[in-house]
């Protein structure tokens, strides 16, 4: 999406051969050690005690890298895994009845993706890496089996599902009659808050998605997105250089947004 991955040392892992539009990635074979992961506070093991270390490590996350432009999974593909984003950024999208792509979500490090496949046993959307990205995959069947014997893991899984529902509701609010200015302001505030919660600068970041992706997500044309960015610069709310954004007047941007932009908070 918009942020450089955390600089951490990781064990050697395999990299998927990829090209834009390449087929979906398969689950990795390198086991991740969840109990010692730098993203544990954001991941499924969040809130679990050290005494649950055996349960945490038995989740058997498989880590894989996905090249920019490659699909992690495809709409209609059988559902098997949930994925935690370890680094990098992705987008989810749906095909409309007339064959166009509609972006439905952007994902960053620490977020769980793949829940769209739970209801029908197949993915309702496709998810694509916006940059070179690393994910941890866990078998949903194994996860639910372990959750049946661990109350904290069960609660954490339900929290992730609840956050997905809240995200959908907030997107409906965002698209429900708001002006282009309000939509883009709320979107930028959302990015700012999510970055801040992860220890990054809330006012300066590089977006990994294109303006066309932003427009697709917000229900705006590319021209409207570009025009609104220019208007915000004239109001001295932002400085924009290609995809590099610096928010210069957070209070002013918040007033234009007119809604409290959704934030992902650190799980307790």
Sign of the torsion angle spanned by Cα atoms 61, 62, 63, 68: negative
Q: What is the pLDDT of residue 41?
A: 53
CB-side exposure of 78: number of CA atoms within 13 Å? 4
Within-domain flag for 2: no
pLDDT tens column, 155-191:
877 887 887 778 777 777 777 778 999 999 999 998 9
Domain boundary among 127, 155, 172: 172
Q: Write phi, then psi, for 42 (nearest 5 degrees).
A: -105, -15
Q: Does this model's pTM top 0.85?
A: no
The last residue of a domain, from among 138, 172, 206 = 172
* Residues 6+ away with beta carbon under 8 Å from 129: 18, 66, 67, 68, 69, 70, 72, 88, 89, 90
Asked if residue 197 and residue 110 are part of one domain, the reply reads no
What pLDDT score does 222 carry?
97
Residue 22 in any domain: the answer is no
**In the predicted structure, residue 19 carries a pLDDT above the cut 50:** no
33-51 CB burial, b ≥16 within 10 A, e <16: ebbebebbebbbbbebeee
Residue 231 lies in a domain: yes
pLDDT reading at 228 higher than 50: yes
């Amino acid at each position: 999406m918009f942020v450089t991955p955390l600089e951490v040392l990781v064990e050697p892992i395999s990299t998927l051969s990829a090209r834009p539009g390449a087929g979906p990635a398969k689950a990795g074979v390198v086991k991740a050690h969840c109990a010692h992961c730098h993203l544990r506070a954001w991941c499924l093991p969040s809130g679990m005690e050290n005494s649950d270390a055996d349960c945490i490590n038995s989740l058997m996350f498989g880590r894989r890298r996905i090249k920019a432009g490659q699909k992690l999974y495809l709409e209609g593909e059988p559902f098997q895994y949930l994925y935690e984003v370890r680094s990098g950024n992705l987008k989810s999208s749906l095909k409309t009845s007339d064959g166009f792509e509609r972006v439905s979500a952007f994902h960053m490090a620490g977020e769980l993706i793949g829940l769209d496949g739970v209801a029908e046993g197949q993915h309702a959307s496709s998810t694509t890496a916006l940059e070179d990205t690393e994910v941890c995959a866990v078998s949903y069947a194994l996860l639910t089996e372990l959750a049946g014997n661990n109350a904290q893991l069960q609660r954490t899984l339900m929290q992730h599902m609840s956050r997905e529902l809240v995200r959908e509701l907030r997107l409906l609010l965002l698209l429900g009659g708001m002006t282009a200015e309000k939509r883009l302001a709320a979107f930028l505030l959302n990015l700012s808050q999510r970055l801040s919660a992860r220890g990054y600068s809330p006012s300066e970041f590089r977006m990994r998605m294109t303006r066309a992706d932003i427009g697709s997500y917000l229900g705006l044309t590319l021209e409207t997105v570009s025009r609104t960015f220019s208007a915000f610069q004239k109001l001295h709310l932002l400085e924009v250089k290609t995809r590099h954004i610096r928010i210069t007047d957070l209070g002013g941007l918040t007033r234009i947004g007119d809604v409290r932009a959704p934030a992902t908070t650190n799980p307790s």
